[in-house]
Structure 1
Amino acid sequence: MVRILLAIILPPLGVFLQVGLGLQFWLNIILTLFGYVPGIIHAVWIILRR
Structure 2
Amino acid sequence: MSLLTIILNIVLPPLAVFMKHGIGKTFLISLILTIIGWLPGVIHAFIVND
TM (norm. structure 2) is 0.90
Q: Which protein is richer in helix relative to its size?
A: 1
Unaligned runs of at least 5 residues, structure 2: none
Question: How does 1:1-50 map onto structure 2 within 5 Å?
Answer: 1=2, 2-48=4-50
The 2-side partners of 1:14 and 1:28 are apart by: 9
Kindly, what percent of the aligned residue pairs are identical?
44
Detail structure 1 runs of 4+ shifted over 6 Å in the superposition: none
TM (norm. structure 1) is 0.90
Unaligned runs of at least 5 residues, structure 1: none
